[in-house]
Amino acid sequence: MSEAVRIGLTDGVFHIEMARPEKKNALTAGMYRTMADALASAEADPAVRVILISGAGGNFTAGNDLHDFLEKPPMDESAPVFHFINGFANLQKPFVAAVEGVAVGVGTTMLLHCDLVYAGSAARFVLPFANLGLTPEAASSLLLPLCVGHARAAEMLMLGEPFSAQTALDAGIVNAVLPDGQALDHALERCRKLTMQPAASLRLTKQLMKRAQQPLINDTMSVEAEVFRQRLLSPEAKEAFGAFFEKRKPDFAKFS
């Protein structure tokens, strides 16, 4: 178990908290493994009615810890990050997120799989895959265009620029924007209301809403994972990561 992930169950609400605030909850392989195991445990436990994910210290997550990521790159489907992604993409129980501060990479793509998302007004969402010489994951290449339309999805995925909580609300990525610091309390209130609903009805409703898309989601994630692994070895990715650690602007002009 990773010490940087806190897990608790209270009155049917299974709460996963990414708790590495000094690094804006940047995710390591150990954290992915812990969260993947936690999702599997929650899905199997009849005492769990709703799964909630949040971040400690005023941020959701800064995405991958790049030092850890490059030391232990996800080169096959056994990698903890892929277990985590497959876990939240195939949850049967309601999945709720409370987002404050930054939500980078998987911190944004996982929200496309949530049933309810609540964000603080200063939350910032970033999909920096292309900026790093990589490609989208977690079926975001499918789900984001379905959610926001091709043009807005292309802007988010190709330019990789941060976008605001209000933009996320207008795009249908989040359900509501709350004053900063209130997203978690509001999400918990919504979770408690869900625990009072018939559990089987909620699971079946979610299955019906996702019935047509789920096979395509899983197929897309498999294709994305293979392309992502190839891109990790690409010259563009090496340039992007080198520039990041050297604190300089990457130069992609020599690559076609």
Instruction: Return the domain boundaries, the chain.
Output: 1-182+199-256
Quick: pLDDT tens for 33-79: 999 999 999 999 999 999 999 999 999 999 999 999 999 999 888 99
Average pLDDT rounded to a whole number, residues 23-37:
97
* Tokens describing residue 92: 């049967």
For the chain, the average pLDDT equals: 97
- pLDDT score, position 2: 67
Residue 206 CB: number of other CB atoms within 10 A?
A: 16
Torsion of CA 117, 123, 138, 161, to 10 degrees: 140
How far CA 107 is from CA of 18, 24, 61, 128, in Å, comes to 11, 11, 6, 11
pTM of the model: 0.96
Which of 65-79, 86-100, 183-197 has the lowest average pLDDT? Answer: 65-79
At residue 127, does pLDDT exceed 90?
A: yes
How far CA 26 is from CA of 46, 86, 95, 138, 227, in Å, comes to 31, 19, 21, 17, 23
Can you name the CATH fold of 1-182+199-256?
Answer: 2-enoyl-CoA Hydratase; Chain A, domain 1 (3.90.226)
Rounded CA gap, 2 and 63, in Å?
16
How far CA 204 is from CA of 91, 94, 143, 199, in Å, comes to 12, 10, 21, 9
Written as one letter, the residue type at 90 is N
Q: What is the DSSP string of 42-108?
A: HHH-TT--EEEEEESTT-SB--B-HHHHHHS---STTSHHHHHHHHHHT--S-EEEEE-SEEETHHH
> Over pLDDT 70: what percentage of the chain?
99
In the DSSP assignment, the letter for residue 13 is E
| CA nearest neighbour of 6 among 71, 54, 51, 65 | 54
Strand locations in 146-252 (E): 163-164, 176-178
